Structure 1
Amino acid sequence: MKHLPKHLQPRWRYLAVGIETWPDAALDRDQFQRALWYSAQNLLGDVGSADADLTLFGFSHADGSGEAVVRTRRDSVEQARAIIAAIDSVDGVAVGIRVRGVSGTVRACEEKYMGRGREGTDQRHVVFGDAERSAFVRDGRVDVQTDEAFTGATTLDIH
């Protein structure tokens, strides 16, 4: 079977979704996907929910908080936002859901709105153990390169 030409292929948008529940609540991917589909069907009907084509791409939930990436068609973003906002419980578990942002790729969605972006690393020369050494600094953490390997330190440990 041949692929469709690029101009006929569907265009997708990815919604970053934040999820909050009670700390003892347990949610899994299948339950959340089913809640998305039921909400779409209740809000838009069978034809509208099929047209929006909501699919759960990424999902994680632990200790009362979680996040998900939801894929939808480019022209159905506003409908997808309404569908997600209409979810108030998942299999009897009360949930608070917030759309953090919309992106054109999964990678950009994760980096911009879900905190999974690349960390900014700064390379410096520091004094550690009475010698000048090369170090990598990330968010207050310092990895100092010694003769054998790296040593973890804080900004207070270096001069």
Structure 2
Amino acid sequence: MKILPSSLREKKRYIAFKVVTESGDPVDRKVLLDEIYFATQTLLGDTGSSEIGYRLMDFDGFRGILRVNHGAVELARAAIATVYVIKGTRAHIFISGVSGTIRAATEKYIVPENIASTNILSIQIRHGRMSGTAVREKGDEIDIVPDEREVLKRGNTRYLSLTSSDTVTNQQE
């Protein structure tokens, strides 16, 4: 059987969400999907469930990304909003946002809450007119949150990244 060309395939949307339970424990992937499918089946029936076309792309126990069909985003949001119990524990699913790609959903709506502490965490860096706070070190790279938030808006990003060669040249100047 041949694969459909991309121009004939149905478009997808990605829903970024966060699960909050009363106990605060992480949620199992399969249990979450079962609850979402049950809520969708109860609210929309067989035809409505088939229109949505759920697929859980990524989930870490608290946050995740759910793929749905382009025309069924509002149905999916309505069905997800009806989930109030997950495996006997009261829970709520907060939808952070909807995006056209996984990358955009991750960058815009899945905020890294627990940044691992490093030896440079929260060190103030200044160079010329630019200044910011180093928040993460990964190998030769340093992630910096600039003090001037307008830089982030113009670049449509959360932080700037420098390599060790950038910092060495800055120190020599």
Q: Which has the higher contact order (CA 8 A, sep 6+)?
A: 1
- After TM superposition, the structure 1 = structure 2 runs for residues 1-159 of structure 1, keeping only pairs within 5 Å, are 1-61=1-61, 66-115=62-111, 136=142, 138-139=144-145
TM-aligned CA deviation for residue 85 of structure 1: 0.5
Q: RMSD of the alignment, in Å? A: 2.9
Question: What is the one-letter code of the residue matched to 1:13?
Answer: R
Percent of aligned pairs with the same amino acid: 33
The 3 A distance-change label for structure 1 pair 18 and 136 is closer
Question: Aligned with 1:95: secondary structure?
Answer: strand
Query: What is the distance in 2 between the residues matched to 1:102 and 1:75?
Result: 12
Aligned to 2:158: none
**Richer in helix (by share):** 2
Query: What is the distance in 2 between the residues matched to 1:24 and 1:113?
Result: 21
Is the contact made by 1:36 and 1:54 (CA closer than 8 Å) also made in structure 2?
no
Query: What is the distance in 2 between the residues matched to 1:111 and 1:83?
Result: 25
Is the contact made by 1:124 and 1:136 (CA closer than 8 Å) also made in structure 2?
no
The 3 A distance-change label for structure 1 pair 2 and 124 is farther
Is the contact made by 1:21 and 1:93 (CA closer than 8 Å) also made in structure 2?
yes
Stretches of structure 2 lacking an aligned partner (at least 5 in a row):
113-124, 129-140, 147-161, 169-173
Stretches of structure 1 lacking an aligned partner (at least 5 in a row):
117-122, 127-134, 151-159
What is the number of residues matched between the two proteins? Answer: 128
Query: What is the distance in 1 between the residues matched to 2:163 and 2:58?
Result: 35
The 3 A distance-change label for structure 1 pair 137 and 80 is closer
Structure 1 window deviating more from structure 2 (79-88 vs 107-116): it is 107-116
Query: What is the distance in 1 between the residues matched to 2:164 and 2:44?
Result: 58
Larger radius of gyration: 1
Query: What is the distance in 2 between the residues matched to 1:144 and 1:7?
Result: 40
